[in-house]
Structure 1
Amino acid sequence: METKTMNIKIEKAKTSKIDKVDFDNLAFGNVFTDHMLVCDYKNGSWNIPEIIPYQPISLDPSAKIFHYGQSIFEGMKAYKDENNDIWLFRPLDNCKRLNISAKRMAIPEIPEDYFMEGLTALLKLEKDWIPQTPGSSLYIRPFIFASGTGFHASPADEYKFIIAFAPSGAYFSGKVKVLIEEKYSRSANGGVGYAKAGGNYAGQFYPTQLALEKGYNQVIWTDDNTHEFIEEAGAMNIFVRINDTLVTAPTSDRILDGITRKSILKIAKDEGIAVEERKITVSEIVEAAKNGSLKEMFGAGTAAVISPISAFGFRDVDYDLPEIGDNYASLLKKRITDIQYNRAEDKFGWRVKV
């Protein structure tokens, strides 16, 4: 059965997998919906997107994604409120950041209307897949990769843009213990750290694996030059509370401009919390842990929203963070998720109804 919606051709799946899904016990990113959006870049322009049944992709062995790593992605979520209305959170920011990543990786930018209209059409088709179990949401993965062929080390001439959905539960359960990394770097000045390029994450896996073997859950990355300054926590931006001031590292060409990060900064200021965007030294964190002024640390990102850090390790010493009742992590997470799930006023204009 084929229909036309917003000039996007829709080929519906013959059968649905939805009845086989336990929506009360969802892992993160392991279950996928019935359909996906696909859009090809050929002959110098993007074709009109299509929605097709979720399925494997066939690529030539010489496709440049396999050889030169032209691959970028975004992470978003869709939410359903008590009235079964569907909401997105700052989707145009995701589209903008995807194109910032595209430009850095010499990938043609996707038109905003292709992104938004394609996403909206796919959400309307898959609306029953949006979970309403507390803490769950529909994770959205837009991505672009080089499908053009050839072994020559140059940008591809063909690309594929896909949006796929995964109904998901919490990314992390409970608090995490992190290791401050002094040998390996996530990114470097002049590099691609600010882009959501697939290779950035591949490069993190090995150092993170070493940290896991030592009993930690994640790595805190430090600057590539001196390893004196903390920058990100795993695949998330990092926040530190010293006394009653919330501190986070400024964005740069090494640090991703996180949408959750920006939202936290705005909400914290709205709550009257003192906020500083500045470089944070490892020695400052260690000293604050020793003298008791380090109250909280947490990671922030789309998948986990806010992930509290219970302890950090540095040079074979672990430092536990205190359990405090009036913690910023819980307050800020509630403020953000209440906006996302349409449970509270959105004074910032971030929520978009589908």
Structure 2
Amino acid sequence: MEVFTPPSAGLLSSPSKRAMMHPREAFRVPYGCRSRQAAFLPLEQPEDERAPSGQSSLSKKLRPPSRVNEVTPACPRGLEGPLQTGSGAELVHVVSVRPEEAWEEAKVRLFPALISPPLPASPPSADPNHVSMDLKHVPDPREQGWYLGLMAPNIKGPSFAWLDPSRLYCHPQAFQDCVEDLLKTFRGDPIDLVAGIDAMGFILGAAIAHTLKKGFLAIRKAGHLCVKTLSKPYKDYQAREKVMEMRADAISPGLRVLLVDQWVETGGTMRSAIHLVEEQGGLVAGIAAICVEDSEGGLWLKDHYKWAHCVPPQLMPQFNAHWLDSFQAFNPNQGPQ
């Protein structure tokens, strides 16, 4: 492909050269092209036809055609081939008729990278540290809590929770079964609103609200809501002092609210959310989480409110001990084996 060398700045800005242009050449085309009907791509001249030293051969020889489509008839439309213009007969290509055609063909010549075919997709990584997960396998039959084995253990140290429950959300059937298991306890109960607790409770809470066709209320950590709020201090599962907020206009007296969080370990976060609902006259229809542990706070909640979680009774000792048998078969790079 020939390399395009644009005309000099003096040629493009010269009033005398602009005056010679065809009247219909009043729109801008790709860089270096000054004509609506023609874009000139100078070719290399024979040695004997080049201008003397110190004189620009372009200054007198680049002229627009005297009429539209003044091209060599045998050449294809759009890049019609050499045309002799002016004295000295410098060869130029005329690029054609419609502006959109001129632009497409200029891209071919000037910017081949823009129209190059895309590179083939890279194959899956062969890196042994590449993390993958089987999102298709579903056991048959699906026993209660089968998806709990998808949860990942903590591999980063004591500043994190002891496991990652959100891994099961990646599996479509596991996520659906988790939501259905939580709702079994509340089927037929009067529920007006579902409230999810910041932040992971938003995922399960919104899914439950959608399933029940109810509204969803986000109970936030302090500092995120730009409206009038009610707040309540609490301690999280790591005994850190925090503040919880809820908008003041969402709950009216007598409204029945289902509270949802991802996990209940010490119960401090859930109790704070309960206080916010009840202080506005709302009624707690129940609490739901993947697991409500048998801690002091968790047992208090189970004694005072209707509750649901996904853990079968035979697995509760493992959850209370913060170690699941499924962790033994867990490969942090490839998931459960």
Q: TM-score, normalised by structure 2?
A: 0.26
Larger radius of gyration: 2
Question: 1 or 2, which has the higher helix percentage?
Answer: 2
Give the TM-score, by structure 1 length: 0.25
